[in-house]
Amino acid sequence: MSTLATVILAAGLGTRMKSERAKVLHRVAGRAMIEYPVALAQALHADRVVCVLGHQADQVLATVDGRFGAGAVEVALQHQQRGTGHALQQAAPLLAEHQGLLLILSGDVPLLTEATLRRLCDTASAGILAMLTFSPPSPRGYGRVVRDDGGKVVRIVEEKDCSETERRIGECNAGVYCGPGRFIMDALGSLLPNNAQGELYLTDIVARAAKELGVAALETPTEEVMGVNDRVDLARADAAMRRRLTEALMRSGVTVADPDRLHLEPEVVVGVDSTLGPGVQLHGHTIIGRGCRIDAGVVITDCTIGDGVHIKPYCVLTESSVGNHAHIGPFAHLRPGSVLDDDVHLGNFVETKKTRLGRGSKANHLSYLGDADIGARVNVGCGTITCNYDGYIKSKTVIEDDVFVGSDTQLVAPVTIHAGAVIAAGSTVVDDVPAGALVLTRVAQVHVDGWAARKRQKMAALKAGLPWPPARPKTTTKKVAKKDKAKAPPKAKSPSPRKPKAKRRS
């Protein structure tokens, strides 16, 4: 029985999740639940992996293919949900020629470990059906394991079919089996819906195996075989997985300041003597080197971080690469495609996107560097912007080694600043700059005398509710003159000289 095939039952609707998404696509520690049993099957070197899918089968398969590659699993479809036995029947045609062991897993049990499954498979043989059992604090809702007086397993009874005596049994069925494939496939044909649910129960195979083979029940910790049925279960499984990953990380030589608040995913790697602060989130395929310090609230996704790096609080790094002994943050944002070489300093509120900073370069304050190639030992002043998008296309900015970029500078791409050039503060650079040149694009400075005093007077008046500009005072000179003129006696008219009358001609 050297060969192993695995069937993963993942066709359920998951109605208790109250979600438009298939249950097995909900995430535990950053991975869709369906990914966990597939990863275990690969770790066990299963020759065949068959997923029985139903609801949103295309999306589930796309998720599996995205993680493990196309063709990693075969698919059997269960169009109608008629029980676990019916689900396994859909996979039977694909495994008709399989002669080895058959491992049966569920798509909503993400906390199983490779060690437990190896123990299960090692116990199974051509004459033994091995199964996992557990003893939860409350067995309500689980199938009970019924044993005879000698302690041998004789059958599994689902709760709705239990007698009062059987309900008091504390040992429960985990729904994980490994046994001879030929026997299991043959037993599927004899299943009948003789139960309260009217379904075909996979658990009925255990009763037949107890008569024709031997049944070995392996006790397993409750947490490991916990199924996820609703959002509460999902949160518990997520916390349990993160705790497991965090403890393994600490045992490997990493200091975790607040283990309960570290969000960790399975593919994350952290080097020895690194320290992770409270609330750090490490997602995807992230690799952090030795002796790093990752402060509170940092979120890193799919990044590679070198040795001795200090990432200060509340930085966000995505799909980026950071060299050795770099200093980043606080509140820096590395967007996809950012590459920081060794000894780079990236300060508070600096954002990069598809940008490389060469060794020893610095951008310490309030800058946006997008679509740029920046050389070594470059100083980027506060408020610098690479203007990389004109509304239609994105263009590149090139800054060669040893350039000094003054504060509040705009570099309008495409543009190249050659080695050793100096960009004066407040400049807008639209043309290439020769090596070693100074660029100065400010307008001439103008002084307006007395302007500040007039401004203060204006603002004080407006604040006091007074009109501005103030009304000019009216002069009384003309009014007084009019009054005086009215009271004065009229001037005597001087007789105008008369012209002598012309004499008439007689």
Q: Are strands 351-357 and 144-147 parallel, antiparallel or unpaired?
A: unpaired
pLDDT tens, per residue, the chain with 506 residues:
579 999 999 998 889 999 999 999 999 999 999 999 999 999 999 999 999 999 999 999 999 999 999 999 999 999 888 889 999 999 999 998 899 999 999 999 999 999 999 999 999 999 999 999 999 999 988 999 999 999 999 999 988 889 999 999 999 999 999 999 999 999 998 888 878 788 888 999 999 999 999 999 999 999 999 999 999 999 999 999 999 999 999 999 999 999 999 999 999 999 999 999 999 999 999 999 999 999 999 999 999 999 999 999 999 999 999 999 999 999 999 999 999 999 999 999 999 999 999 999 999 999 999 999 999 999 999 999 999 999 999 999 999 999 999 999 999 999 999 999 999 999 999 999 999 999 999 888 899 999 999 999 999 999 999 988 888 877 665 555 555 555 556 665 655 556 555 555 54
The answer to whether residue 365 is catalytic is yes
Report how far residue 68's alpha carbon sits from residue 37's, in angstroms, rounded to the nearest whole number: 12
Report how far residue 437's alpha carbon sits from residue 425's, in angstroms, rounded to the nearest whole number: 14
**DSSP symbols for 268-292:** -EE-TT-EE-TT-EEESS-EE-TT-
| Closest among 221, 102, 129 to 172, alpha carbons compared | 221
Given phi > 0 = left and psi -120 to 50 = alpha, else beta, which region is 103? beta
On the CB side of 296, CA atoms within 13 Å amount to 2
Contacting residues for 258 by C-beta, under 8 A, at least 6 apart: 277, 278, 279
Q: Which of 327, 365, 418, 447 does the annotation list as catalytic? A: 365
Q: How far is CA 115 from the centre of its chain?
A: 30
Instruction: Enumerate domains of the chain plus CATH numbers.
Output: 4-225 (3.90.550.10), 254-349 (2.160.10.10), 355-443 (2.160.10.10)
Task: Supply the pTM of this predicted model.
Answer: 0.84
Contact 273, 291 (CB under 8 A): yes
Q: Please, what is the angle between helix 204-212 and helix 181-188, to 10°? A: 120
Contact 270, 254 (CB under 8 A): yes
